Amino acid sequence: MTSWCGKYGVLEMGFEVDSSGRSVLSHLHREVPMVVQQALYFDEHLPHLPCIYILSSGGPHLEGDRYRVDIRLGEGAMAQILTGAATIIAPMEHSGAELRQTITLGEGAYLEWLPQAIIPAARSRYTAHTEMVVAPSATLFFSEVVACGRLHSGERFDYRELELRESVFRPNGSAIARAGARIVPEEFSPSERAFMGSFTHFGSIVVVTPPEICSKLLSLLSPNVSEELRMSVASLRGNNGLSLRLLGHSSERILREIRDICSMVRQEVKGAPLQEEFPWR
Amino acid sequence: MCSDTSTLLSLFRLAWISDSALPTGAFSFSLGLEGAVESGLVSDLSSLEEYTIGALYGAAECDGVAMLEAYRAIADGDHTRVKDADAHLLSFKAGEEAREMTLRMGRRLIELIHSICPTPLTEEFYGEVVEGTTAGCYPTAQALAGYALGIGERALYAAHLYGVANTILSAALRLMRLSHYDTQAIIYRLSPLCERLYDLYGSRTMEEMTSFIPTLELAASLHERGIGRLFMN
């Protein structure tokens, strides 16, 4: 690793099914500023689902910050992971902030990954690489939302660089899908019509799931081309999942759509919808 | 390599493989334009030009990176790297029609080049594509063809981008009320973009490959579900 100064946050979480059949957070290792509350079982529709809020006690991501997250779900385990608030990437002068995360799902495991938005401030640089290893019978719902900046301060694509990269593999190492977005507003403006046009926020969803569930989801989901929200729906190779891209005018609108789609996925996999979002969120 | 690398010969061959008459089936694809026109995302010359610009950026940061990697690997004699680039690119393709386009055109080009100008590499690659052990994406096939024909990588890159623009604009003539003069003027205005795209993305590695063209992704997605079926994507 190149030399850096800044915070180095580490979070490792492992989930397993205990003897009573309930999924539990069986391994937790964290280094500040990563903070995790205890597993909460608040979902009325799926009472054995541990829900975890990831928090950061160090405020926004600053220049030089590095974060490493490793999530593992054993055979048949399930979990929902959320963030407590939006992730702000603070203004920077020289380098950037970086997140590297790995998500590993064993056979029959089920994970919902529902973070709040990333907000890259003016002059910030941020890189997030996510590697997912998903067993053939498992289902992973992965999502992310990115704002154009701190809108209340008048920022609109004033960041320097944003790179989000995802790769999905099977446990034997074969690649299912890769995706990557690198936005450098100085190189091209995301406001060009072929990119985001007048939209200010984008979201991405990757669903990895067995082919029969994927086919059902494809029949339920349709592309959206409205003024309020745009959404593309594409299958992954071999019908091993879906890739969706969303454009909207606010984080809230995209997050709401993401929850609706997550609910649809959960209904197909677990036979229950997602619980209504808390009114204070 | 069966080629003479003299400039006139390589230019002649560049013109040949860039021609829309090359039987790769490019005419049956619209790169999502059919869905874009049907949904109103593209409705006039200005939006068509912006759509084409988006497609060129998308090609440069994704297919173009794979094509250059494959070309350089061929030049280094590293066949494993060529196949890795091919597999990596296919894993980047979301959407059935996008995969179908690159695989169908890729196979046709490999077959054509191997039948006209066989080399040990085209023989190996074509054999594996027929067996199904290698995917054979179009950019990889372009790299094989370009190298076999003695075309330099920058010239091949320009041919690749020209092919993208020409596919969309040829489709536009059948989907929109435009004249040939309109589409040729767009090609002329966009031509300086190929130098800029090569400078921006020409040295990227496979690990740095990206793809962020939401409007084109949406258009492709609409086409997969749409009723307009003049084109295959």
Domains in chain B: ranges and CATH: 8-15+26-222 (1.10.4190.10)
Looking at the complex, does the CB of residue A223 fall below 8 Å from at least one CB of chain B? yes
Lowest-pLDDT range, A33-37, A148-152, B15-19, B150-154? A33-37
Looking at the complex, does the CB of residue A180 fall below 8 Å from at least one CB of chain B? yes
Task: Output the tens digit of pLDDT for each of chain A's 281 residues.
Answer: 445 578 899 999 999 999 999 999 999 999 988 889 899 999 999 999 999 999 876 678 899 999 999 999 999 999 999 998 999 999 999 899 999 999 999 999 999 999 999 999 999 999 999 999 999 999 999 999 999 999 999 999 999 999 999 999 999 999 999 999 999 999 888 988 888 999 999 999 999 999 999 999 999 999 999 999 999 999 999 999 999 999 999 999 999 999 999 999 999 999 999 988 887 77
Is B44 a residue whose pLDDT tops 90? yes
Helix ranges (DSSP H) in A185-250: 211-220
| pLDDT value at residue B4 | 45
- Positions of E strands within chain A: 8-17, 23-31, 34-36, 51-56, 66-73, 78-83, 87-89, 97-105, 110-114, 118-120, 125-134, 139-146, 161-169, 175-183, 201-208, 224-225, 229-235, 241-248
Q: Is A199 in contact with A248 (CB distance < 8 Å)?
A: yes
Tell me the per-residue pLDDT of B71-97, one tens digit each, with 9 for 90 and over. Answer: 999 999 999 999 999 999 999 999 998
Residues 6+ apart with CB under 8 A from B144: B70, B74, B82, B109, B110, B113, B121, B122, B125
Dihedrals φ, ψ of A171, to 5°?
-60, -25
CB-defined contacts A:B, below 8 A:
103
Looking at beta carbons, which residues of chain B come within 8 Å of A178?
Answer: 88, 91-92, 209
pTM for the model stands at 0.93
Are A194 and B53 within 8 A, CB to CB?
Answer: yes
Residue B75 in 3-state DSSP?
A: helix
| pLDDT value at residue B227 | 61
Looking at the complex, does the CB of residue A189 fall below 8 Å from at least one CB of chain B? no
E strand or H helix that includes residue A221: none
Give the whole-angstrom CA distance, residue A217 versus residue A206: 12
Are A175 and B99 within 8 A, CB to CB?
Answer: no
| pLDDT value at residue A57 | 64
Cα dist. B155→B10, B142, B158 in Å? 9, 12, 5
Beta strands A87-89 and A118-120 are parallel
Looking at the complex, does the CB of residue A151 fall below 8 Å from at least one CB of chain B? no
Assembly ipTM: 0.90
Are B51 and A178 within 8 A, CB to CB?
Answer: no
Quick one: which of B91, B84, B98 has its CA closest to A168? Answer: B91
Looking at beta carbons, which residues of chain B come within 8 Å of A165?
Answer: 210
Are B217 and A163 within 8 A, CB to CB?
Answer: no
Residue A130 to chain B, least CA–CA distance (Å): 13
Is B25 a residue whose pLDDT tops 60? yes
Cα dist. B69→A275, B29, B186 in Å? 47, 25, 29
Are A182 and B61 within 8 A, CB to CB?
Answer: yes
- The closest CB to that of B94, out of A187, A192, A234, belongs to A234
In chain B, residues 87-116 whose CB comes closer than 8 Å to chain A? 87-88, 90-96, 98-99
Tokens, residue B211: 């793809």
Give the whole-angstrom CA distance, residue A89 versus residue A65: 10
Which amino acid, residue A75?
A: E
Residue B133 to chain A, least CA–CA distance (Å): 13
Tokens, residue B113: 């080049």
Are B94 and A179 within 8 A, CB to CB?
Answer: yes
| pLDDT value at residue A4 | 58
Looking at the complex, does the CB of residue A179 fall below 8 Å from at least one CB of chain B? yes
Is B38 a residue whose pLDDT tops 70? yes
| pLDDT value at residue A55 | 86
Looking at the complex, does the CB of residue B44 fall below 8 Å from at least one CB of chain A? no
What DSSP designation does B44 have? Answer: S
- What does the H/E/C string look like for B136-184? CCHHHHHHHHHHHCCCCHHHHHHHHHHHHHHHHHHHHHHHCCCCHHHHH
Are B88 and A178 within 8 A, CB to CB?
Answer: yes
> Could you identify the residue written with the tokens 């993208």?
B164
Q: Is A224 in contact with A199 (CB distance < 8 Å)?
A: no
